[in-house]
Structure 1
C-alpha cells in the first residue's frame, strides 16, 4: 500500500479533526483525555477519535469521558523470552494495517501520541502519511515508543526538563503533564471534617494507585503502630481494592481510631486538602497532581516499570527540593523515621510546598491544544 502520498489535510474552515493514541495505563490515558478536553473547549465542533487496545483500561475509560475509541491489535513486547513474543510480529503487522485503515477513514489533521504500545503503529503510519505527529511524554525518562517516534514528530511536549536529554532538543516544548480534571481546592477545615479528623494532629496520606502497591502496604502494616500510636498521626491509607479485604481482616481487632483504610479514594481533593505529607509512588500522573497542589511528598518509585522512569521522576523532584525519596528495598526499616523527620518540620514542609508548586504547569493541556491547532492550520474560537 502506498501511504506516503495520501492527502490528509482538510479545508481551513472545517472543524479540526484530532486522533489521540494512548493506552495501557492511566499515566498515558488521562493526559490524552485532558488534551482532548482542551481541544474541545477551544473548538466545541472539533472531531476527536481515540485509538487504543481492547484489553486495557482505555477501552472503558475513554468512552466514559465522552469520546469514541477504536482498537488495534498490538501488545507490549516483553524484554524476556515469552510465548507472547512469538505472536508479536503478527500483531505488529496487523496493527500497522489497522492503523492505516483508521487514519485513512478518519483523516485527522493531527495525531497526538501519548505513549503506550498503541501509540507506536499509529504514530509511525501517520508520519508516513504526512500527518503531523505530536508526542506527549509524561516522564523524565521517555518511554520506548516515544523515543522511537521522536524523529518523526513535529513537536514533543514534556513534563520534566530531564526528558530533553533523550529527545531531539529542537522539537521539545516543556509544557508539564495535562491533568484532566483540575483538582478543586478544598479548605483544610472542610477536608478534615470529611474524614472525621482533628485539626490538632498531623495527617499522612498514603497512596498506592488504583491497584494498590504491595511494598507500600507491607511497610505501612509493619510501621502502623509506630505511626498511629507513637507519632499520633491521622492516616488516610488507600491500599487498593485487591489488598483491602485482607488488610481489613488483619487490622480488624486492632484499635486504630485515626486510621482510614480505603480501597480507593473517591474524593481526592479532600484527601489532598487534609494531608500534611503524602507517601506515594512516583508515577507521572501522581507527580503532576502533587505539583499542581504543592503537596510535600515521600516518593517510593516502583522498580517494576519500563525504563525505571519512576526513579527518574522521583530524582527530578528531589533535586528541586519538592520531595524525599525512599527506595523500596529500605522502605520498611526507614519509613517511620523519614515520616517523623518531615511531617513535624513545618518550615521544611513549607519549603517543599513552594518547590513542588514551582514545578507545576497547570495550563499544560491548553498549551498542547494550541500547538495542535497551529499544526493543523486552524483557528481557535
Structure 2
C-alpha cells in the first residue's frame, strides 16, 4: 500500500487543501499520516480520523527578534522528531502544504531519500516554501503568475483543491434557507471578519438600491451585522451547514481575495467582484485579485476606492460581464477536481522513485 505523509500548518489555508483531497486519496487506496504542530492543523486533521504526530516547531522571522534564536532550538528538535517519525513510518512520499512546521519534515525526508512534493497557494511563495523548494522533487502552484517566482524545474499549475461537498449544493434549499424566491438573481456578499466593516458600510448605504435588482445574502462576520431589514436581504454572521446550498443559489459574489475562497468560487464558476484587503495588510490579497482579473476570472474594486456609488457601478458592470467571466474560468488549464490531477502526478512520480 502506498504511504503518504502530509504536512503543513500554522493557518487553515495550509491544511484545508489537504482535507479537500482526502476523498481522492481514499479513492486511490493510499494510507495517510499527518505530521504537524500542536496548532490549528491538529484539530482539523484529527476530525478526519487520520493518524497525527505532533512535532516542535518555530517561526523564521524576517526581522530581528530574540525568538529567532530560541526558535532555532525548537526547529532543530522538530527536525529530529521528523527524522525519527519518517524512519518509523517509511512513507513513499512527503506532501507539504507550506507553513513553518513543514520545513523540518521536508529536510528530514530529503536526508532519508524520501521524495518531497510541495504546493504553494499564494501568488508569491512564502518563506517556508522558498526554504523547501531546493529539496522538492516537484512543486505545484495555484496562480498562473506564480511560475515566474518558482525556480524548481519540475512544476505545474494546479489551482487549489476544493472540498467536493461544495459541488453538492441544492439551489432550492439555498433559496429556502435565505427566504428568497426564484426569478430574481442572488448576490452573495462575503466580507469576512478582517476589515469587513468597510464592505459592510458601503453595502449598507447601497442596499435600498441593490434590493431592486438583487436578493442579497450577506455573511457579515461575527458581531459585524448591519441595520437593514427587507425581504430580499438575509444576513448570517457565518454559515456552517448549508453553505454549499447558498453557493448553489448564488448568481454573483462580492468577496475579499483570500486564495482558498477565490479558487472555491472559481471551481463553482461564480462571477465575482473582489474587494481585496488593502488597508493594514501586506498586500497578498491585492496580488491574488490582480492575478484573477488578469485571467478574466474576476472584476476588482480597490478598497481605497470603495464607496456606495463605486460598488453599485461595479455590480452593474459585473452583470454585463458575468458570462464572459464564467467562460474564462471554464477555459482555465488549472483543474477543479478535488486534487485528482495532483494525485495523478504524484502517482507518476512514485513510479519513478
TM-score by length of 2: 0.89
Q: Mark the runs of 5 or more structure 2 residues left unpaired by the alignment.
A: none
Counterpart position of 2:325:
352
* Unmatched 5+ stretches in structure 1: 1-14
TM-score (norm 1): 0.83
Residue 235 of structure 2, aligned match among 239, 243, 261: 261
Aligned residue number for residue 193 of structure 1: 176
Aligned to 1:240: 221
Question: How big is the shift at 1:126?
Answer: 1.1
Q: State the Cα RMSD in Å.
A: 2.6
Tell me, in whole angstroms, the C-alpha distance in 1 between the residues paired with 2:229 and 2:340.
48
Q: Is 2:288 aligned against 1:325?
A: no
Does residue 1:283 correspond to 2:283, yes or no?
Answer: no
Q: In structure 2, how many angstroms separate the alpha carbons of the residues matched to 1:304 and 1:374?
A: 44
User: Partners of 2:201 and 2:331 in 1: how far apart?
Assistant: 34
The 2-side partners of 1:222 and 1:159 are apart by 31
Kindly state the Cα deviation for residue 333 of structure 1 after the two structures are TM-superposed: 5.5
Question: Which structure would you say has the larger RCO, counting Cα contacts within 8 Å and 6 or more residues apart?
Answer: 1
| 1:230-256, Cα deviation, whole Å (9 max, x unpaired) | 553322111223x25xx3xx62xx433
Q: Which moved more, 1:97-106 or 1:325-334?
A: 325-334
User: Is residue 53 of structure 1 aligned with residue 37 of structure 2?
Assistant: yes
1:22 aligned partner: 8
Work out the CA distance in 2 between the residues paired with 1:268 and 1:154: 37
CA distance, structure 2, for counterparts of residue 198 and residue 69 of structure 1: 45
Q: Partners of 2:229 and 2:175 in 1: how far apart?
A: 20
CA displacement 1:264-297 (0-9 Å, x = unmatched): 2222222122222111122221121111111111
Q: How does 1:128-277 map to 2 (within 5 A)?
A: 128-168=111-151, 170-186=153-169, 188-208=171-191, 212-229=192-209, 231-232=211-212, 233-241=214-222, 243-244=223-224, 247=225, 251=227, 254-265=228-239, 266-277=241-252
**In 2, Cα distance between the equivalents of 1:111 and 1:291?**
28
Q: Once the 2 structures are TM-superposed, how far is the Cα of residue 262 of structure 1 from its aligned partner?
A: 1.1
Paired residue secondary structure (1:170): coil
The number of residue pairs the alignment matches comes to 350
Measured in 2, the distance between the counterparts of 1:223 and 1:306 equals 21
Of 23, 41, 54, the residue aligned with 1:37 is 23
1:147 touches 1:166 (CA, 8 Å); kept in 2?
Answer: no
